[in-house]
Amino acid sequence: MEKTLVLIKPDAFAKHYSGDILKRYEQEGFRVVAMKLLKMDERLASIHYAEHIGRPYYRDLVGFMTSAPLIAMVLEGDHAIARVREINGKTNPAEAAEGTIRRQFAASGSRNAVHASDSPESAKREISIFFNETEIFDEDYHVKD
């Protein structure tokens, strides 16, 4: 089973789309193994978006990501990284396929509702930014009747 980091970004959280987005991932068969609500600060943004520092859009990106709460989660499932990115759709919602999360919930290419890791290496790095080992529930869980 593969794990990936997903962020429900401030735009989607502020518009109350979080439940619909989470439901979509669960309907696709992913298991939520970690989740938290947080407000990203500039330090966390600089770690998460380190490869974007110095690019023309970086300040706007940090301003947006630190503007309101977001939901960070770790999803687990078969081929989670590729499948979640497919479900999310292209970054620009106008180019995203019908039925994708960004087509339905994103406002623009820069206010695009969700983030997901793009490779196993990124997933490992990004998950460790937002969660420590004790916050990730790796065991099978069953509710007792």
What does the DSSP assignment read for 111-125? S-SEEE--SHHHHHH
- Extract the annotated binding site: 9, 57, 85, 91, 102, 112
Closest CA to 102 of 116, 87, 117: 87
Bin 67: left if φ > 0, else alpha if -120 < ψ < 50, else beta: alpha
Is 52 among the residues known to form the active site? no
Q: Which of 48, 79, 115, 142 is the catalytic position?
A: 115
- Extract the annotated binding site for ATP: 9, 57, 85, 91, 102, 112
Q: Which residues are catalytic?
A: 115
